Structure 1
């Protein structure tokens, strides 16, 4: 019989895990496959690991867990889960039940089509989400799809069910700086989408504040687009053009009006503008260099401390 590997990254999910486990167990008999649960404890500081050990003791053939040596981030936790999955189908889910487990049933049936390699969940709305976060999320996807050759669809989460060949293809991408939403698209394969209404966390607090989401968005831009570097070049040329005009204006005014005092303000303004733009462009280039630096060091994406 075929098997589904359910990968669940966990970071401080002690409140959510019992709810998640009960819900996923309800739908398991409705899918005619074997199951394995692979929970990845990503350096939690609460009782998450203790709960995972208990679940494993109660059902060691079904429930497995990976305990990472520290918090490596969700991307690394998902990659760790993929590396341990043995199923013919592989799914990635959050423990907070924002990914509805019952959607797996529909995903499985769609995936029986031999021409479909992956079924991904896509939110049909953003009810309950702060409007500012929704605005910037939509803005991110619009910009991303304009500057990148790898499309990233608005509303699509990491929650998806993949056939083994696609899971192996994603696993082969061993890069340190990971942006899975882009990687899932980059590897190709035929993907269908299932819509569902947005859900709030069943328990606990979200770990994704505005600044973490902003950092995640910047990583997406840099990992899948050269547009920021091109922007640095074009904007640099624009500033040079403006500076040339400004210099001609300042020299012309000095010749015809001979007023050095008024020229001081314009000179300072030009200098501050030029220095500000230069620092911005250096920051963009530095971000790319930092990503290269972390890649060439060749450090592992994650380190496993314990697994069962």
Structure 2
């Protein structure tokens, strides 16, 4: 394919790296090949989330032969996938940005350009998703989608392509992005899913904390749960009151230490459950409102032939 037939939009590809070893070079080779085939202008951005193996030296040696520069963001310490990818998004300058949270490729590499075609058809966010997902992921997305107010449903994805308009909108609505996928869905812009036969096997840590944060921020699940607990406790209190009145009217009052402790224990259990949810919301508000420095970058390195 000649250069004149290549797409003119500037493309950025942001890739998360944490101890990926030789797999990182294999992934970048495939990614660079497909981008070079279809796009006239593009950049590769690797986010080094404090790799401790040979990922970065191996990648650096490979990048010395590249025609296009490779930008490596070296984070000062291990800060997690979402924070690291936000740093990469801030460094990317493309009209459209690919977000690769992992170097695994259970999908055909041709889907990279197919995602761009879907974006050109009018979608600001294109997610490439496996048809098969783990049971825990299905449960999380069922709860999330059932309590969110977005027109689009979230699901497990391998990578996504987002427009500059989508990035600007989500950053305008929130200073920090604890969960990019949910922020894109809440932006109101058109989303499209592309499917492939396969399954993701990345079992990185930190998913439970991220799930709790996203449910608290982007859904009303916490409010519904706390309201449900409060209602249940109210009915239990009314039932206990009715029981006490019946015993009193029957003329057989019971000096019941057990009953008293039951009521107190149950009441305080419900109170603490509600307080736990409130504290979670307060901690998130503190992080989002007062924590201005979202990530720590040690240095930025550009490698080119």
In the other structure, the counterpart of 1:302 is 295
The structure 2 residue matched to 1:276, chosen from 266, 269, 294, is: 269
Task: Please state how far the C-alpha of 1:179 moved relative to its aligned partner.
Answer: 1.1
Moved over 4 A (4+): none
Uncovered stretches (5+) of structure 1, i.e. residues with no partner: 127-133
5 Å-filtered alignment, 1:194-209, equals: 194-200=194-200, 206-209=202-205
In the other structure, the counterpart of 1:267 is 260
How big is each residue's C-alpha offset from its partner over 1:46-78, in whole Å with a ceiling of 9 and x where there is no partner? Answer: 223323433443437331110111122111111
In the other structure, the counterpart of 2:184 is 184
Distance in 2 (alpha carbons) for counterparts of 1:296 and 1:89: 29
Secondary structure of 2:139 counterpart: helix
Task: Describe the shift of the 1:245–1:158 C-alpha distance in structure 2 as closer, same or farther (beyond 3 A).
Answer: same
| 2:294 matches 1:287 | no
How big is each residue's C-alpha offset from its partner over 1:140-190, in whole Å with a ceiling of 9 and x where there is no partner? Answer: 222212211125635342612223222332344553351111111122222
In the other structure, the counterpart of 2:50 is 43
Secondary structure of 1:301 counterpart: coil
The structure 1 residue matched to 2:239, chosen from 224, 241, 245, is: 245
CA contact (8 A) 1:144 1:152 kept: no
CA contact (8 A) 2:86 2:177 kept: no
Task: Please state how far the C-alpha of 1:7 moved relative to its aligned partner.
Answer: 0.4
The structure 1 residue matched to 2:119, chosen from 111, 126, 129, is: 111
Uncovered stretches (5+) of structure 2, i.e. residues with no partner: 1-7
RMSD of equivalent CA atoms: 2.4
Normalized against structure 2, the TM-score is what? Answer: 0.85
In the other structure, the counterpart of 1:129 is none
In the other structure, the counterpart of 2:39 is 32
The structure 2 residue matched to 1:20, chosen from 22, 27, 32, is: 27
Task: Describe the shift of the 1:72–1:43 C-alpha distance in structure 2 as closer, same or farther (beyond 3 A).
Answer: same
5 Å-filtered alignment, 1:101-180, equals: 101-113=109-121, 115-126=122-133, 134-151=134-151, 153-157=153-157, 159-176=159-176, 178-180=178-180
Distance in 1 (alpha carbons) for counterparts of 2:173 and 2:106: 27
In the other structure, the counterpart of 1:10 is 17
Distance in 1 (alpha carbons) for counterparts of 2:85 and 2:238: 51
Distance in 2 (alpha carbons) for counterparts of 1:98 and 1:304: 30
